[in-house]
Amino acid sequence: GEVSATAFSGRDWQEHLFNELGRFAPREAVLDTAAWEDVELREFLRLRLDCRCELGREEDFAPDRAMETARKQFRTGLEDLPGEAEAAVRACGGLLIYLYETQKTDLSHLTAFRYYTGGEFMELDLTARRNLELTETMRGKEKKGSLLWVLDKTKTPMGGRMLRSWLERPLLSVTDIDRRSSAVAALVDDTIRREELIAGMTGLGDMERLIGRIVYGTAGGRDLTSLRAAMEKLPNLKEQLSGFSDRRLTELTAELDTLDDISGDIAAAICDEPPFSVREGSIIRDGFNEEVDRLRHILKSGKGVMAEMEAKEKEKTGIRTLKIGYNKVFGYYIEVSNAFKEQVPETYIRKQTLVNGERFITQELKDLEHEILTASERVVALEYELFSALRQQIADNAGRIQKTAAAVAECDALCSFASVAVHNNFCRPEVDESGVIEIREGRHPVVEKVLKDSLFVPNDTFMGEKEERVAIITGPNMAGKSTYMRQVALIVLMAQMGSFVPAKYAHIGVVDRIFTRIGASDDLSAGQSTFMVEMTEVSDILHQATKNSLLILDEIGRGTSTFDGMAIARAVLEYCADKKTLGAKTLFATHYHELTEMENTLPGTVNYNIAVKRRGEDIIFLRKIIPGGADRSYGIEVAKLAGLPEKVVQRAKVILKELEDENGVQYVAARKETDQVSLDAM
Ligand code: ADP
Ligand code: MG
């Protein structure tokens, strides 16, 4: 039942729109004519997001009509809207009309219109979302192996959705971040209450989905009993929550309505195990409604009811031989033998004369017969009526239930953060607007979980406002460059989600956006070459990043020839580092060792490499990031590790030697004494 709307304008409107669409990944989009004619938009929706597009009617999007539709639909959220929200209201109005026509059901649970603007959340583009594997892995598109997989220990479906939305929308305001992370901290500190809360939410059903079905009128008896079961867990949750003094948790305690009245009503009316269908009876609990009970009694003991009547008639008339029988011709009848003819009451209607007696019917008998024959139909109809009335009554309380469901969802997501923090040894980051990123013993939250044979080696990070803004990271393939850079990005993201982070200590100056350019993209399906994709992504980054952004640039220029690639890499690096152009915090991994020279000429840059140790002809990866450029690339050693035939390895060495001699240089630049010392010391 959530309705959110936003509008974009200005130079980068399209980019913002695409990012927002990417975040929601809609199944279906309803477009007005102008949007429909925007080929780029439709291609993006169709090809990138696999989303269906519908063309809405132009008049449905007309400002007056849209406003009127929205006014009729929403009770809150339309007051005090800024001028630019008009477009959002129009879109919403057109969409509502489309929904009225296609859904053909009640939409009265959509009561609140929420207009939001950028600035509240960190915008993440599709590339960053994918590269950082926030909710699914790049290759397998699976949750396992993603950040969500590590962080999501929620117990309820609504908690799961809430946590996912936090993951996709990290915060920007330090106050908002602190509010969330102090709630997490309070939960971390009180193990007993946290575990109680978690136990209390385990198995708690999807109240949001259930209330949706109830409002739509598609909920059955089982949905109501599920809702009741969920609601019955609420008092305990409220009790546990009320034990915390943290501000957000206190607010949640207040927002959580235990809904006893509603669960009580369901318990009274609906039996414990109602059938799947609502039109077959057996839904209403015995004792809830007299008429239902009476009809059920008739149904269960049709014969018994007739026997009761027979006994009653015998007594009333004093006719000892009076019998109630049944035949196909006129149904139930009362038979009186000739000896008692005189005692037959006037109300008896003669139907048939036999040799030794007569058969009668009475109005009462016919009524009862009718009841027996129709009881089944009527009890089903009545039960449905009672059920529908209850369902409607619950639907009228949808707002209360939704609000409580949201409180449960948030509590669940917060507990998940807390629980993950405790079990994975995360720390609470200090978050501010210092513009500094300082991490001690940081780890990659996912890689540390999936490493089987080895321990994850923690690494420190420092990126300042002025000093060490740009880190040029070198080191052989497989050394751990990409892992390290993603780790920094993920720690910053997690901090801005309000989560604890995998580190001993972290001080995170809020970044406005995180951009990534990592590895070969899988966008080949869209028909672009790898290099073209790479350059498009780099170009997007350089256009959109600000000095408050964090850039992760991994092996820029790899997709083209060495000299082209190096030239582009160098120019990009200069552009990022220079305060006059961008001056953003940048982690720049490169296999062009020549670029390490830039440390001396480009202010704010600093060289790092990931240490390896030589042992004879082999190398050992130490996974430690240390200051200075790598001394050489160790390509041949890595190839050997990968199992290249010994003959090929030896031959490669000879060729390398020849090349180096020919050029009069060692084929890698920037060997420094200091590196050598630090390497040997390890
Ligand atoms: P590069 O980008 O330098 O080629 P990667 O970052 O892809 O290297 O890392 C290669 C492998 O090394 C990873 O798949 C991971 O298993 C391992 N690795 C990376 N960093 C670490 C670390 N800090 N501790 C332990 N293993 C690591
Ligand atoms: Mg790499």
The closest of 411, 435, 430 to 511, measured between CA atoms, is: 435
Atom number, ligand 1, closest to the C-alpha of residue 458: 23
Mutate which of 448, 483, 591, 593 for ligand 1? The one with the most ligand atoms within 8 Å of its CB, which is: 483
Tokens read off for 507: 């001080």
Say which ligand is closest to the CA of 145.
1
* 632 Cα: distance to centroid of ligand 2 (angstroms): 16
H or E element in which residue 566 lies: helix 562-577
Q: Which residues contact 538 (CB under 8 A, 6 or more apart)?
A: 517, 553, 556, 572
The answer to whether 235 and 285 are in contact (CB under 8 A) is no
Which amino acid residue places its CA nearest to atom 10 of ligand 1?
478
End-to-end CA distance of the chain: 58
Instruction: List Cα–Cα distances, 394 to 260, 278, 389, in angstroms.
Output: 12, 16, 9
Say which ligand is closest to the CA of 484.
1
Which ranges of 336-434 does DSSP label H, i.e. alpha helix? 363-395, 398-424
- The residues whose Cβ lies within 5 A of ligand 2, an ion, are 482
* 630 Cα: distance to centroid of ligand 2 (angstroms): 15
* Distance in angstroms (rounded) separating the CA atoms of residues 559 and 591: 12
Atom number, ligand 1, closest to the C-alpha of residue 479: 3
Atom number, ligand 1, closest to the C-alpha of residue 624: 23
* 494 Cα: distance to centroid of ligand 1 (angstroms): 20
Q: DSSP for 493-531?
A: HHHHHT--BSSSEEEEE--S-EEEE-S--SGGGGT--HH
* 223 Cα: distance to centroid of ligand 1 (angstroms): 48
Pair type for strands 459-463 and 470-474? unpaired
Instruction: List Cα–Cα distances, 91 to 8, 74, 96, 270, in angstroms.
Output: 12, 14, 9, 41
Give the number of residues written for the chain.
682
Atom number, ligand 1, closest to the C-alpha of residue 475: 3
Quote the Cα angle for 367-368-373, to 5°: 100
Burial (CB count within 10 angstroms: exposed 0-12, middle 13-18, buried 19+), residue 527: exposed
Helix (H, G, I), strand (E, B) or coil at 202: coil
pLDDT < 70: residue spans in the chain: 519-529, 664-682
Which amino acid residue places its CA nearest to atom 26 of ligand 1?
456
Burial (CB count within 10 angstroms: exposed 0-12, middle 13-18, buried 19+), residue 584: buried
* 495 Cα: distance to centroid of ligand 2 (angstroms): 24
Atom number, ligand 1, closest to the C-alpha of residue 485: 6
H or E element in which residue 675 lies: helix 673-681
* 642 Cα: distance to centroid of ligand 2 (angstroms): 15
* 682 Cα: distance to centroid of ligand 1 (angstroms): 18
* Distance in angstroms (rounded) separating the CA atoms of residues 564 and 54: 44
Atom number, ligand 1, closest to the C-alpha of residue 444: 23
* 547 Cα: distance to centroid of ligand 2 (angstroms): 25
pLDDT of residue 665: 55
Sign of CA dihedral 95, 97, 100, 103: negative
* 488 Cα: distance to centroid of ligand 2 (angstroms): 14
Say which ligand is closest to the CA of 488.
1
| 648-666 per-position pLDDT tens digit | 988 988 988 888 887 765 5
Tokens read off for 122: 């960190």
Which amino acid residue places its CA nearest to atom 23 of ligand 1?
457
Say which ligand is closest to the CA of 474.
1
Say which ligand is closest to the CA of 635.
1
Atom number, ligand 1, closest to the C-alpha of residue 621: 12
Pocket lining for ligand 1, CB < 6 angstroms: 447, 451, 454, 456-457, 475, 477-483, 623
* 587 Cα: distance to centroid of ligand 2 (angstroms): 12
Atom number, ligand 1, closest to the C-alpha of residue 451: 16
Say which ligand is closest to the CA of 454.
1
Which amino acid residue places its CA nearest to atom 15 of ligand 1?
480
* Distance in angstroms (rounded) separating the CA atoms of residues 125 and 130: 9
Mutate which of 449, 456, 477, 478 for ligand 1? The one with the most ligand atoms within 8 Å of its CB, which is: 478
Burial (CB count within 10 angstroms: exposed 0-12, middle 13-18, buried 19+), residue 66: buried
Which amino acid residue places its CA nearest to atom 12 of ligand 1?
480
Atom number, ligand 1, closest to the C-alpha of residue 454: 25
* 479 Cα: distance to centroid of ligand 1 (angstroms): 6
Which amino acid residue places its CA nearest to atom 16 of ligand 1?
451
The answer to whether 639 and 649 are in contact (CB under 8 A) is yes
Which amino acid residue places its CA nearest to atom 17 of ligand 1?
480
Q: Which residues contact 217 (CB under 8 A, 6 or more apart)?
A: 105, 106, 388, 391, 395
Which amino acid residue places its CA nearest to atom 20 of ligand 1?
480
Pair type for strands 113-115 and 3-5? parallel
* 480 Cα: distance to centroid of ligand 2 (angstroms): 7
Helix (H, G, I), strand (E, B) or coil at 677: helix
Atom number, ligand 1, closest to the C-alpha of residue 483: 6
Which amino acid residue places its CA nearest to atom 9 of ligand 1?
480
* 489 Cα: distance to centroid of ligand 1 (angstroms): 15
Say which ligand is closest to the CA of 456.
1
Mutate which of 441, 447, 449, 453 for ligand 1? The one with the most ligand atoms within 8 Å of its CB, which is: 447
* 552 Cα: distance to centroid of ligand 2 (angstroms): 11
The closest of 534, 608, 542, 627 to 578, measured between CA atoms, is: 542
* 645 Cα: distance to centroid of ligand 1 (angstroms): 24
